[in-house]
Chain A
Amino acid sequence: MIQLKNIFKWVTVGGSRVFLLKDINLTIKEGEFISIMGPSGSGKSTLLNVIGMLDDFNEGEYNFIDQPVHQLKEKQKSQLYKSHIGFVFQAYHLIDELTVYENIETPLLYQNVKASERQAIVADMLDRFNIVGKKDLFPSQLSGGQQQLVGVARALVAKPKLILADEPTGNLNSKQGEEIMELFKQLNKEDGVTIVQVTHSEKNAAYGSRIIHLLDGRVEKN
């Protein structure tokens, strides 16, 4: 599903290159649950952003479902990720001005789904995550765990093949974190959604089928 070949990414500081990603080679198959680990600044989030096409890389090849991402234009890339990838963030990143319902609905708006269909899909999602009663609340009225639940619901609403999660439990207490991880596991098992998560916690990483260790922008252990 994902194939990274000799990916390099750098920034130029004071005339010399500082490598954020160095010669990354990685293949992820459909249905995998991958955890990326590594110390701060090792390039975990950068790698995740590259996979999610939110960030560019300087060198290398990236194939996503047989599409050469490194040759695509901005518009095509956004078309690609918006129909195949869902994102979950550490800080939830819900839109403060929108209700739970509207937050979940947003990705569908950008995929031009018809209003009646949208309603059905969002209702289904609310039901599945047990948050029907909270659909008219704003993010600020929810606990962190509930917000992340909405975040995951939003990531799933467009039925993506891949979920990218950047420290999804980083702002949650251990109980809430566990619930989210269980949810991921279930999604991976039952729905066959491919998941790539970045995490600091060994415990959470263990939920994955494979762990990738990064250090200084390099894959240290696969």
Chain B
Amino acid sequence: MIKNYFIITFRNILRNKTFNFLNISGLAVGIASAALIFLWVEDELNYNHYFPNRNNLYVIKDKQTYDGNTFVFDATPGPLAQAVKDETPGIQTTARSTWANPMLFSLEDKSIYENGRHVDSGFLTMFSVPFIKGNAAAAFMQLHSVVISEKMALKFFTSTDNIIGKTLKVDNKEDYIISGVFKDLPENVSIKFDWLISFKVFEEQNLWLKEWGSNSIITYARTDPNANIPAINKRLYDIVQRKNSQSTVAKMMLYPFNRIRLYNNFDNDGNEKEGVIKNVRLFSLIAWIILIIACINFMNLATARSEKRAKEVGIRKVMGAVKQKLIVQFIAESVLLSFLAMLLAIGIMFLILPAFNTLVHKNLSLQVFQPIHLGGLIVIALVCGILAGSYPAFYLSSFNPALVLKSTKLKTGSAAFIRKALVVTQFSASVVLIICTIIIYQQIQYGKEKDLGFKKDNLIITSLHGNMRSHFSSIKNDLINTGVVENASISNSDVLNMGSNTGDFSWEGKAPDKQILITVEGISSEYILTQGMQLKQGRSFYENLKADSNNIIINETLAKIINNKNILGSVINREKDKYTVVGVVKDFVSNNVYQPAAPLMLFADTSNANVLSVRLKANAPITSALAKVEKVIKTNNPGYPFEYEFADEEFGRFFQAETLIGKLAGVFAALAIIISCLGLFGLASFTAERRTKEIGIRKVLGASVSGITGLLSKDFLKPVLLSVVIAFPVSWWMMFNWLKDYQYKITIQWWVFALAGLLVLLIALVTVSFQSVRAAIANPVKSLRTE
């Protein structure tokens, strides 16, 4: 019996090539795109699964509330780790870590920047660093030792054999002994590093790490498997209250490492909210929608073709087939087709996976024979087959044999209604996706075109190394002498990434119980000019920074908070120190494009400067200008490779998440409309075929070609029009919610809806009219003769 189904199915496929091509390829495209999304989802859901202890790992977060706004940081005080480990039951161990930062490693004449961390030795076991040479226990026995990744090792040596005990020079200063090599970490982990050095080295260089008042490093903790987390959090609170001599707003808490990737977002009250998981859900939803759209095609085309198969159903019933057997036959047939589509989809996936990887910035791969992937594909194909086959199966098998064999016209009223409802569903989804694409794109553009308060073009940002900080004025002169540089400045951090802030300041008129978190930044005198910022009042710092050591420049937001008519000259206190405001700079984006500028203070202090900004002349040719800048920096600071980034590139990265959503929404909107149109095309051709006789009679009675084209097209445009109407409120509601997360956002405009609606109508019209025109120009004599 099964063999019989196979035979019928294959002969059917060959007999109706166009139809089946439309059918299978539509479904294949649907399956391929859904499967790609599921690959992406799988990668996100498996994030950090590499770490075997992940269920008991926590990062200690620091919650601080200022003026009703709660901020949640990873930054914790240096002594916290030890205190927590000693005093908290339920905590097995703790480990401190710096943020990943690049350091220069050199062997003979080879120098390479590599990203890594300074960590306590507990980190090695906590995160099960996979040693292939050396071991965790011996790794940090010597203070100046380094553990490196296999990838990094192979950059310096031809193999990882016999390199333990060899040395690498770090930052052109000390030699570090290689004490271990570990296997490269996979890409889907939140903690990335190519080298690890003992935290003690970092501690020796930064004595403030002994203080409780400075939150500047990450603390990880591993708990007992059944630890009481709220009790530990309570304990943490007590420890910090007791140890931190000042009255502190800091509240420490354990945050599960498992949630780092998908959540790790906090609202203004410090409560966790969804992060990446939102996109994971959104994309899973889109994947299912695409699959459903593709399945709907399948159903529609199958029922539309039902008249052709009605005879077969009739005969089989007369031969003694019961309804169930026919249902099984049709479902088996559609499952078979959907497996063919799945095979085609696998081919499509292999072709477009590289492009998809570029799009989502991942390195996904499809292992067809990996059980979970194979199983997933089979499940998708089965679900599609059964879903798509069920309606046609029940519909077709319900035909009365006496009627269909007498070849009287079938009553297709209900089927036609369901077909139209399905078309409406398909097109609604397409229109929603199109509208979302446009609005997301608008929002990204809006963010990009926002007045940043500084000029991001032609601004090079590079880190300071070696003696560059102390030689800055001569480097600046050399740069300006190249003729391609307008100005240069140094500062603690780059303008788009200011991270240092404190609530310790007070001024006249400030309520004592009100804490305000202020971003602080140390700059050289050229900073404001170099960044292209605008002074609203007062002056910039003098070139002799010492003269301004007790002066500050504030931004407009802070000026408004201080609310002093004569803001210039007003005094701001930090413990015993007093600072006088000498300038007010126009607000600029220092961290988040979508949020209003945070209150900010600029100090005339370059002792912690890490970043060199170079403003190129607007008309300077980029390549040669870069070469000249590189030459200057290399002569002044030999031994360090020149690595830089343009501020506008860095700025572009701000939009990575949104751009990804926007691009994916765009791609899938296009796919949805293509699949829907494939279906519509098929439907139109079958309707044209079914109505051949009617068209023939109308033509004989004098109907014109355009009249008939209109008649046939109108039938299909009505459901499309209805779907547009349904899609409007749905997409409005979706985008309204999406935009809610942004403080700076566009208003949703009506023309977006009109545009999307018209676009879809136009595409549908073109699709349908192709068939309608063909039917309308056919010779009526032929169609009437065959009846």
Residue numbers of A with Cβ under 8 A of B are 45, 49, 52, 54-55, 75, 78, 81-83, 87, 89, 91, 93-98, 102, 106-107, 109-111, 154, 158
Chain A residues in 8 Å Cβ range of B312: 95-97
- Flag if A111 contacts B402 (CB, 8 Å): no
User: Is B730 part of the binding interface, using a Cβ–Cβ cutoff of 8 Å?
Assistant: no
Residue of B nearest to A49 (CB): B402
Chain A residues in 8 Å Cβ range of B110: none
Once A97-B11, A97-B12 are accepted as A-B contacts, the answer to whether A110 and B325 lie under 8 Å apart by CB is: yes
Chain B residues in 8 Å Cβ range of A49: 402
- Flag if A110 contacts B320 (CB, 8 Å): yes
Once A54-B402, A89-B405, A102-B4 are accepted as A-B contacts, the answer to whether A95 and B315 lie under 8 Å apart by CB is: yes
Chain A residues in 8 Å Cβ range of B372: none
Say how far A90's CB is from chain B's closest CB, in angstroms: 10
- Flag if B314 contacts A93 (CB, 8 Å): yes
- Flag if B319 contacts A106 (CB, 8 Å): yes
User: Is B227 part of the binding interface, using a Cβ–Cβ cutoff of 8 Å?
Assistant: no
- Flag if A45 contacts B319 (CB, 8 Å): no
Chain A residues in 8 Å Cβ range of B1: 109
Say how far A56's CB is from chain B's closest CB, in angstroms: 9
What are 14 A-B pairs at a CB distance below 8 A?
Answer: A54-B318, A54-B400, A82-B320, A87-B318, A91-B405, A93-B314, A94-B315, A97-B15, A98-B8, A106-B315, A109-B1, A110-B316, A154-B319, A158-B320
User: Is B406 part of the binding interface, using a Cβ–Cβ cutoff of 8 Å?
Assistant: yes
User: Is B141 part of the binding interface, using a Cβ–Cβ cutoff of 8 Å?
Assistant: no
How far, in angstroms, from A78 to B15 measured CA to CA in the complex? Answer: 31
Interface residues in B293-337 (C-beta closer than 8 Å to A): 311-312, 314-322, 325
Say how far A96's CB is from chain B's closest CB, in angstroms: 8
- Flag if B402 contacts A93 (CB, 8 Å): no
How far, in angstroms, from A81 to B1 measured CA to CA in the complex? Answer: 20
Say how far B621's CB is from chain A's closest CB, in angstroms: 70
Once A45-B406, A49-B402, A110-B325 are accepted as A-B contacts, the answer to whether A93 and B320 lie under 8 Å apart by CB is: no
- Flag if B7 contacts A98 (CB, 8 Å): yes
Say how far B307's CB is from chain A's closest CB, in angstroms: 14
Residue of B317, B320, B321, B325 with highest tally of chain A CB at under 10 A = B320
- Flag if A55 contacts B402 (CB, 8 Å): yes
**Interface digits, B634-660 against A, CB 8 Å rule (1 contact, 0 not)?**
000000000000000000000000000
Chain A residues in 8 Å Cβ range of B317: 54, 78
How far, in angstroms, from A45 to B407 measured CA to CA in the complex? Answer: 13
Chain B residues in 8 Å Cβ range of A106: 4, 315-316, 319
Interface residues in B1-57 (C-beta closer than 8 Å to A): 1, 4, 7-8, 11-12, 15
Chain B residues in 8 Å Cβ range of A89: 405
Chain A residues in 8 Å Cβ range of B406: 45
Residue of A nearest to B314 (CB): A93
Say how far B329's CB is from chain A's closest CB, in angstroms: 10
Chain B residues in 8 Å Cβ range of A97: 7-8, 11-12, 15, 312
Chain A residues in 8 Å Cβ range of B11: 97-98
Chain B residues in 8 Å Cβ range of A81: 320
User: Is B401 part of the binding interface, using a Cβ–Cβ cutoff of 8 Å?
Assistant: yes
How far, in angstroms, from A211 to B12 measured CA to CA in the complex? Answer: 42
- Flag if A93 contacts B325 (CB, 8 Å): no
Closest 10 CB pairs of A and B: A82-B320, A110-B320, A54-B402, A97-B11, A107-B319, A49-B402, A55-B402, A110-B321, A93-B315, A87-B318
Chain A residues in 8 Å Cβ range of B321: 110
Say how far B396's CB is from chain A's closest CB, in angstroms: 14
Chain A residues in 8 Å Cβ range of B4: 102, 106, 109
- Flag if B7 contacts A102 (CB, 8 Å): yes
Chain B residues in 8 Å Cβ range of A52: 318
Residue numbers of B with Cβ under 8 A of A are 1, 4, 7-8, 11-12, 15, 311-312, 314-322, 325, 400-402, 405-407
Residue of A nearest to B315 (CB): A93
Residue of B11, B317, B401, B402 with highest tally of chain A CB at under 10 A = B402
Chain B residues in 8 Å Cβ range of A110: 316, 319-322, 325
Residue of B nearest to A48 (CB): B402
Chain B residues in 8 Å Cβ range of A91: 405, 407
How far, in angstroms, from A55 to B4 measured CA to CA in the complex? Answer: 28
How far, in angstroms, from A81 to B312 measured CA to CA in the complex? Answer: 18
Say how far B19's CB is from chain A's closest CB, in angstroms: 14
Chain A residues in 8 Å Cβ range of B320: 78, 81-83, 107, 110-111, 158
Chain B residues in 8 Å Cβ range of A94: 315
Residue of B11, B312, B318, B401 with highest tally of chain A CB at under 10 A = B318
Chain A residues in 8 Å Cβ range of B12: 97
Once A55-B402, A97-B8, A98-B7 are accepted as A-B contacts, the answer to whether A75 and B322 lie under 8 Å apart by CB is: yes
How far, in angstroms, from A154 to B371 measured CA to CA in the complex? Answer: 46
Say how far B7's CB is from chain A's closest CB, in angstroms: 7
Chain B residues in 8 Å Cβ range of A78: 317, 320, 322
Chain B residues in 8 Å Cβ range of A45: 406
How far, in angstroms, from A136 to B142 measured CA to CA in the complex? Answer: 85
Residue of B nearest to A46 (CB): B402
Say how far A157's CB is from chain B's closest CB, in angstroms: 10
Residue of B nearest to A55 (CB): B402
How far, in angstroms, from A96 to B407 measured CA to CA in the complex? Answer: 16
How far, in angstroms, from A94 to B177 measured CA to CA in the complex? Answer: 85
- Flag if A82 contacts B405 (CB, 8 Å): no
How far, in angstroms, from A81 to B7 measured CA to CA in the complex? Answer: 26
Residue of B nearest to A89 (CB): B405
Residue of A52, A54, A102, A106 with highest tally of chain B CB at under 10 A = A54
How far, in angstroms, from A110 to B15 measured CA to CA in the complex? Answer: 25
How far, in angstroms, from A91 to B320 measured CA to CA in the complex? Answer: 19
- Flag if A82 contacts B402 (CB, 8 Å): no
Residue of B nearest to A75 (CB): B322
How far, in angstroms, from A154 to B319 measured CA to CA in the complex? Answer: 9
Chain A residues in 8 Å Cβ range of B311: 93
Residue of A nearest to B319 (CB): A107
How far, in angstroms, from A89 to B315 measured CA to CA in the complex? Answer: 10
How far, in angstroms, from A55 to B11 measured CA to CA in the complex? Answer: 31
How far, in angstroms, from A95 to B311 measured CA to CA in the complex? Answer: 8
Given contacts A95-B312, A110-B320, 5 further A-B contacts (CB under 8 A): A52-B318, A82-B320, A95-B316, A97-B15, A98-B11
Residue of B nearest to A111 (CB): B320
How far, in angstroms, from A200 to B317 measured CA to CA in the complex? Answer: 26
Chain A residues in 8 Å Cβ range of B405: 89, 91, 93
- Flag if B7 contacts A82 (CB, 8 Å): no
Task: Find B401's partner among A54, A102, A154 (CB 8 Å cutoff).
Answer: A54
Say how far B330's CB is from chain A's closest CB, in angstroms: 14
Say how far A167's CB is from chain B's closest CB, in angstroms: 11
How far, in angstroms, from A97 to B20 measured CA to CA in the complex? Answer: 15
How far, in angstroms, from A193 to B69 measured CA to CA in the complex? Answer: 94
Say how far A98's CB is from chain B's closest CB, in angstroms: 7
How far, in angstroms, from A94 to B405 measured CA to CA in the complex? Answer: 11
Say how far B321's CB is from chain A's closest CB, in angstroms: 5
Residue of A nearest to B324 (CB): A75
How far, in angstroms, from A93 to B311 measured CA to CA in the complex? Answer: 7
How far, in angstroms, from A158 to B4 measured CA to CA in the complex? Answer: 18
How far, in angstroms, from A98 to B402 measured CA to CA in the complex? Answer: 21
Chain A residues in 8 Å Cβ range of B325: 110
Say how far B338's CB is from chain A's closest CB, in angstroms: 19
How far, in angstroms, from A89 to B400 measured CA to CA in the complex? Answer: 16
Chain A residues in 8 Å Cβ range of B8: 95, 97-98
